[in-house]
A and B are shown apart, each in its own frame.
Chain A
Amino acid sequence: KNEVEQSPQNLTAQEGEFITINCSYSVGISALHWLQQHPGGGIVSLFMLSSGKKKHGRLIATINIQEKHSSLHITASHPRDSAVYICAVRWNTDKLIFGTGTRLQVFP
């Protein structure tokens, strides 16, 4: 059983819609990362957070340590946001444990 669960696995949206991707993990962590992987494969680190909320442009990431849950929100979605979004957690080591990803497609 994967220790990092993401939902939904696949998501389609119309341009302009507000999008939420969820991530749950099983034990306490030191940090959680949200990553974006485009069809070509390259990975971009969007956020690293251990508490609270971070915002960058149209992206917002929140984490609830007590509930062991994080969300990634995209406001005013755009076709260029189409990608796989991956949640990864780090416990008390250097290693990242990855979720299975959420494939997002935004249509014009």
Chain B
Amino acid sequence: GAVVSQHPSRVICKSGTSVKIECRSLDFQATTMFWYRQFPKQSLMLMATSNEGSKATYEQGVEKDKFLINHASLTLSTLTVTSAHPEDSSFYICSARGTLTYNEQFFGPGTRLTVL
């Protein structure tokens, strides 16, 4: 149990376009979802925390208008990278935590974004 999926797994887009990444909890209700970014050979960095039905809390230095997060249901959160630029190219990972998962976070497989 406790599976988290992400879609797409890989996306290539042109500079200036917007990209939406979905994160779904498949077999549990995720009250909280986390979005991370990972640059090559670096550690995961938390971008934002979202609780179902409320606005996301962004970490310092993360532009909320550029990285739009929606957590409209207990099984789905989306991250939209607006007006993407090459420096946004990265590996984006979500994780989810539910009321029945005893504070454990379950991670999605990640989405590799390449902006040309």
Instruction: State the A residues within 8 Å of B (CB).
Output: 2, 30-31, 33, 35, 40-45, 48, 86, 88, 90, 94-96, 98-101
Known: A41-B112, A42-B110, A43-B93. A96 touches B105 (CB 8 A): yes
| A12 to B45 Cα, complex, angstroms | 26
Closest 8 CB pairs of A and B: A42-B109, A43-B107, A41-B110, A98-B43, A48-B104, A98-B44, A100-B43, A41-B91
Interface size class of B (residues with CB under 8 A): 20 to 34
Residues in A whose Cβ lies below 8 Å from that of B104: 33, 45, 48
Instruction: State the B residues within 8 Å of A (CB).
Output: 32, 34, 38, 42-46, 49, 91, 93, 95, 97, 103-110, 112
| New A-B contacts (8) at CB < 8 Å, excluding given A41-B38, A96-B105, A99-B43 | A31-B103, A33-B104, A41-B93, A41-B112, A42-B107, A94-B97, A100-B43, A101-B43
Residues in A whose Cβ lies below 8 Å from that of B109: 40-43
Residues in A whose Cβ lies below 8 Å from that of B38: 41
**Closest chain A CB from B20 CB (angstroms):** 19
Residues in B whose Cβ lies below 8 Å from that of A96: 34, 44, 46, 105
**Closest chain B CB from A8 CB (angstroms):** 15
Residues in B whose Cβ lies below 8 Å from that of A88: 44
| A35 to B45 Cα, complex, angstroms | 14
A-B contact pairs, 13 of them (CB 8 A): A31-B103, A42-B107, A43-B108, A43-B109, A43-B110, A48-B103, A48-B104, A86-B43, A86-B44, A88-B44, A94-B97, A98-B45, A99-B43
